[in-house]
Chains A and B, each alone.
Chain A
Amino acid sequence: MKKLLAMMLILGLAVMAAGPASAADTIRIGLLAPLSHQVGEGEVNAAKMAVKRINDAGGIDGKKLELFIEDTEIKPEKAINGYKKLVMVDKVQAVMGAFSSGVVLSLMDHVARYKVPFISTASSSNTFGEKVAKDYARYKYFFRLMLNETDQVNGMVEFVDSFLKPKLNIKKVAVMAEDAKWTKLMGAQFVEQIKTKGIEVTDYIRFPFKETDFAPILSRVKNAKVQFLLEISAIADGAVYINQWHDMQGPPIGGCDTSAGSEDFWDKTNGKCMSETVFMYGAYDVALTPKTKPFWADYIKIYGKEPKYASGFTYDAVYVVANAVKAAGTTKADALVAAIEKTDYVGVSGRIQFKKNHNTICGSDGRPMMIWHQWQGKGQRLPVYPEKYATAKFILPAWWSVK
Chain B
Amino acid sequence: MELIQEIIIFGTIKGCVYALIATGFTLIFAVAGILNLAHGTFYMLGAYFTYTLFYVLGIPLPPAILLAAVLVGALGMLLDRVFLKPMRSSHTYVLVLTVAVAFAAQEIILLTYGSQGMNIPNLIEGSVNLNGVVVSWHQLLIVAITAVVLIMLWLVLTRTRYGVATLAVSMDEDGARLVGIETEKVFNLSMFASAFLAAVAGALISPIMSMTPEMWNMPLMKAFVVVVVGGIGSLTGSIMAAFFLGWLETFTGFVISPKLTEVVSLVLLTVFLVFRPSGILGRRLH
A residues sitting closer than 8 Å to B (CB atoms) are: 36-38, 205-208, 210-213, 215-217, 219-220, 222-223, 237, 239-240, 243-244, 247-249, 268-270
Residues of chain A with a CB closer than 8 A to B214's CB: 210
Does A249 contact B253, Cβ atoms closer than 8 Å?
Answer: no
Residues of chain B with a CB closer than 8 A to A244's CB: 208
Residues of chain B with a CB closer than 8 A to A212's CB: 209-210, 218
Does A36 contact B208, Cβ atoms closer than 8 Å?
Answer: no
Taking a contact as CB atoms closer than 8 A, the residue among B115, B136, B218, B259 that contacts A36 in the complex is: B115
For chain B residues 2-60, which have a beta carbon within 8 Å of chain A? 2-3, 6, 10, 14
What is the minimal beta-carbon distance from B268 to any residue of chain A, in angstroms? Answer: 17
Which one of B65-73, B116-124, B187-195 is at the A interface? B116-124
Interface string of B182-212 (1 = CB under 8 A from A): 0000000000000000000000000111101
What is the minimal beta-carbon distance from B133 to any residue of chain A, in angstroms? Answer: 8
Does A269 contact B119, Cβ atoms closer than 8 Å?
Answer: yes
Cα A215 to Cα B9 with chains together (Å):
11
Nearest chain-A residue to B138 (Cβ)? A247
Does A240 contact B258, Cβ atoms closer than 8 Å?
Answer: no
B236 within 8 A of A: no
Does B253 contact A213, Cβ atoms closer than 8 Å?
Answer: yes
Residues of chain B with a CB closer than 8 A to A205's CB: 258
Taking a contact as CB atoms closer than 8 A, the residue among B122, B250, B258 that contacts A247 in the complex is: B122
B270 within 8 A of A: no
Does A219 contact B117, Cβ atoms closer than 8 Å?
Answer: no
Known: A216-B261, A237-B116. A243 touches B207 (CB 8 A): yes
B106 within 8 A of A: no
Residues of chain B with a CB closer than 8 A to A37's CB: 115-116
Q: Which of B117, B125, B212 has the most CB of A within 10 A?
A: B117
Nearest chain-B residue to A215 (Cβ)? B10
Does B139 contact A268, Cβ atoms closer than 8 Å?
Answer: no
Nearest chain-A residue to B14 (Cβ)? A213
Cα A205 to Cα B259 with chains together (Å):
9
Cα A240 to Cα B208 with chains together (Å):
7
Residues of chain A with a CB closer than 8 A to B108's CB: none
Taking a contact as CB atoms closer than 8 A, the residue among A216, A237, A248 that contacts B258 in the complex is: A216
Residues of chain B with a CB closer than 8 A to A237's CB: 116-117, 210, 212
> Given known contacts A210-B214, A213-B14, A269-B119, what 4 new A-B pairs fall within 8 Å (CB)?
A212-B218, A215-B6, A243-B210, A270-B125
B134 within 8 A of A: yes
What is the minimal beta-carbon distance from B272 to any residue of chain A, in angstroms? Answer: 23
Does B258 contact A217, Cβ atoms closer than 8 Å?
Answer: yes
Cα A325 to Cα B119 with chains together (Å):
46
Does B250 contact A216, Cβ atoms closer than 8 Å?
Answer: yes
22 contacts between A and B (CB under 8 A): A206-B259, A212-B210, A212-B218, A215-B6, A215-B10, A215-B253, A216-B258, A223-B2, A223-B3, A237-B116, A237-B117, A239-B210, A247-B134, A247-B136, A247-B139, A247-B208, A248-B127, A268-B117, A268-B119, A269-B119, A270-B119, A270-B122
Does B117 contact A240, Cβ atoms closer than 8 Å?
Answer: yes
Residues of chain A with a CB closer than 8 A to B6's CB: 215, 219
Known: A216-B258, A223-B2, A223-B3. A239 touches B119 (CB 8 A): yes
Cα A210 to Cα B118 with chains together (Å):
14
Residues of chain A with a CB closer than 8 A to B134's CB: 222, 247-249
What is the minimal beta-carbon distance from B148 to any residue of chain A, in angstroms? Answer: 22
Residues of chain B with a CB closer than 8 A to A269's CB: 119
Residues of chain B with a CB closer than 8 A to A239's CB: 117, 119, 210
Known: A248-B127, A268-B117. A213 touches B254 (CB 8 A): no
What is the minimal beta-carbon distance from A216 to any residue of chain B, in angstroms? Answer: 4
Cα A37 to Cα B254 with chains together (Å):
32
